[in-house]
Structure 1
């Protein structure tokens, strides 16, 4: 999980709160040579923008999300952040496994200078994990870790929510609960989301970044973007 310093880094180029990716490239070094994943990706989002990142498996969506969060460094380029950003909501495995759910909440509360009592009240109610919060998170299922990560992200008042795939956690009732918290109660938040669902993009997003072969283009016409995505 990135540190608050990574999430709060700022630049002086933009007086208005923004998240800006400037010429981001990422090359992974492997045993069989260099593997370029992202090639000079640039975009900018401001308050209340909802950017969908579209691309087939292996297109670089998760890599881009991790670079934006500060979890991963780009090979070149930079990210300018003049608003606070959550950690990627799909990265529940970033919890310290030897700590209990309660201990992880206490750690995150201190890390982000939040009131622990207020945070834990929300986490207990939202996750519905009950006594499992007393258990080390290394024993959690992936769904339980996502519930905890999702609740902690919502409990802290981030300006921008970063989502690596739209989360489908638990049963239909809990999924609806997540949807209400994220897309109805926090309708004023900026969001950057790696997604696959074209109907979701057209309903909830006003911008779409389509990735293919490491390159990307941003579209304001999200319906047109989903049609391009369907042909990839």
Structure 2
């Protein structure tokens, strides 16, 4: 289970402080797929990083008692001077995963081929995203955090991503950020809308989408 306990987030900007999340208390239902919506700059990716533990809240506590992925599409954790393959081995050791199985899966899924033996700093943003996505799919997590990753690559690769999501959702849950309403309807049943620092929960993803569309007019 994931639980936010009086969690808030404030950024210091050139024009002053910006509160992207007001103090919030929320328990994420176990085994459900949640779509996270909000206009550009609302703080969706920030919230996802806080849930993952890669960014700290300004105040409050986030409890996690499940095995959780990093945000798919977020490749900031890779070491730029190491090769793709070396990064795979490093992460595999952290999560206790079989290094050879992970490497073979990612090599096939990401379609990076010889680039796996090149330093991450030579990768484009799309290549980093493919590596991060393939690595996430290669390791079994209880919950997958998804940040617009289904838009990476061509149509064939996007179809491969959707197929991977379907397979994982049979035994794992998702928290997904996307501006594509059809993608959210396809993968999610619950919804969260972040607007003006307020996080609102909806039992039906369609109600969340209706609320978001009203706010974004």
1:107-129 CA distances to partner (integer Å, 9 max, x unpaired)? 11112122111111111111111
Mapped pair 1:225 → 2:208: yes
User: Aligned-pair distance for 1:166?
Assistant: 4.1
Deviations 1:13-56 (A, max 9, x none): xxxxx111222210112343322111123322243211111100
* 1:102-181 equivalences in 2 (<5 Å): 102-181=85-164
What displacement does 1:215 show? 0.5
| In 2: Cα distance, 1:20 partner to 1:96 partner | 30
Q: Which moved more, 1:87-96 or 1:208-217?
A: 87-96
Within 1, Cα distance between the matches of 2:10 and 2:39?
18
| 1:166–1:148 Cα change, 3 Å | closer
SS at match of 1:167: helix
8 A contact 1:48–1:190 mirrored in 2 = yes
d(CA) in 2 for partners of 1:38, 1:142: 28
Secondary structure, aligned partner of 1:227: helix
2:5 to 22, 31, 34: 22
In structure 2, distance between residues paired with 1:230 and 1:80: 31
Gaps of 5+ in 1: 1-17
> Once superposed, which parts of structure 1, at least 4 consecutive aligned residues long, lie more than 6 Å away?
none
TM-score by length of 1: 0.88
Provide the secondary structure at the position in 2 that maps to 1:88.
Answer: strand
Computed over aligned residues only, the root mean square deviation of the Cα atoms, in angstroms, reads 1.4
Residue pair 2:2, 2:66 contacting (<8 A) in 1 also: yes
Measured at CA, do residues 166 and 123 of structure 1 come closer, stay the same or move farther in structure 2, by a change above 3 Å? closer
**Aligned with 1:92: secondary structure?**
coil
Name stretches of at least 5 consecutive residues in structure 2 with no aligned partner. Answer: none
Q: Select the residue among 17, 20, 43 that pairs with 2:26.
A: 43
Q: What is the aligned counterpart of 1:84 among 50, 67, 79?
A: 67
The number of residues matched between the two structures is 215
Q: How does 1:169-208 map to 2 (within 5 A)?
A: 169-208=152-191
Moved more, 107-116 or 199-208: 199-208
